[in-house]
Amino acid sequence: MRILHLISRFDFGGAENHVRELCNEQIALNHEVILATRNGRQIELLDKRVKFIRIHALLSNLILSQVILAIYIILRYRVNIIHGHQRLPIFAACIAGLLTGVPVIATVHGRVRHDLRSVLVRKLVKRIIFVSSRVLTVSRHYRSIKHKSAVIPNGIPLPVKLPDIKPFTIGYFSRIDSRHFEVIMHLVSAIELLNVKYPNLTLELYGDGDEMAKLILLADEENRKLKRKAIHCKGFIETMDSLNSFPELVLGVGRVAIEALARGASVIPVNYKRMGEIVNENNYEWYAKNNFVNINGQPPSQEAIYTHLNGYFEKNNEYRKTTQLLSQKINSDFCINKIAAETINIYKSLLY
């Protein structure tokens, strides 16, 4: 099978990581895979057998250019399936698919109202994959698209080697932008409040972005105030597999939460919109269905983050006892082999 993936960006993020892993696994399953996108650091981790077609940044926001390029690729490589990710590539894929007769699949990584904004797209796309069941069921378009929709979560490759867990260490993995910076400020404030009770508590911040310089200043100021290096700006990492040691507790949602649980860390689902409870045996299935986002939660605040961190470290020995079980569940539910196979089955349902 010859598969074309279209995505706007190919730097690091939930959708981009997912596309890279899916391409690599589909190649491993002996399919021909073509990826058309802008340049980005994900390319270094892409299987060399994937045919990579670079889209110039200036052209990536022009829908006509994307449609023409998609048609060229479809005809040049005799593509069987087009798989679009993110709003503009999905739109371009649908127009190209209409003109060439090639079926189009779309994965919604965000919200239907954004990724599938156009009525034409919702009509033309043959199947829609959601990484969270909640995103599908709360959409105002649910009734018109449910018959062509399926829920397949983000997949991850199983860790090559389980890292050593660092006690009393908190990890936060994200883009360092204005939205996440607010969460980080709450985290830093919570560390300051917890310092007396847990004098060895540290916070490790992974990622880069527009607010990186501001973050370094914040960390330096806090470390001087605490008279120790409690806040560590680790910067950009390509994959979590590069870490030989790993935080005991990670705050994050989606792929970050999945990868952290797979490595034996405890997880509190947090992003700039929602905050949840510590993932445990009782709430795991609910969080797994919702991409590890507390869909009923409120935005995180300094008080809420402090309360949750304090509650975790008061009973961290108890929480640590369940990490092996949760890791096994993740490996079973989110293994990229399983996710890729389910995606291929959707392709086949349209072709055969």
- Give yes or no for a contact between 89 and 8, defined as CB atoms under 8 angstroms apart: yes
* More confident: 230 or 237: 230
The answer, yes or no, to whether residue 57 has pLDDT greater than 80, is no
The model's pTM is: 0.86
The answer, yes or no, to whether residue 186 has pLDDT greater than 90, is yes
- Give yes or no for a contact between 116 and 144, defined as CB atoms under 8 angstroms apart: no
Joined together, the tokens standing for residue 260 give: 């952290």
Average pLDDT for the chain = 93
What integer is the mean pLDDT of 197-224? 95
Pairing of strands 149-151, 127-130: parallel
For the chain, list the strands marked E by DSSP: 2-7, 32-37, 51-54, 81-85, 104-108, 127-130, 149-151, 164-173, 202-206, 231-235, 245-251, 266-268
User: Which pLDDT band, with edges at 50, 70 and 90, does 137 fall under?
Assistant: confident
Top-ranked range on mean pLDDT: pick from 2-16, 155-169, 304-318? 304-318
pLDDT tens across 318-340, in order? 999 999 999 999 999 999 999 99
The answer, yes or no, to whether residue 239 has pLDDT greater than 90, is no
* pLDDT value for 327: 95
User: Which pLDDT band, with edges at 50, 70 and 90, does 307 fall under?
Assistant: very high
What integer is the mean pLDDT of 12-28? 91
The answer, yes or no, to whether residue 135 has pLDDT greater than 80, is yes
* pLDDT value for 72: 96
User: Which pLDDT band, with edges at 50, 70 and 90, does 117 fall under?
Assistant: confident
* pLDDT value for 88: 93
* pLDDT value for 203: 98
Helices then strands (H, E): number in the chain? 15, 12
pLDDT above 70 coverage of the chain, percent? 99
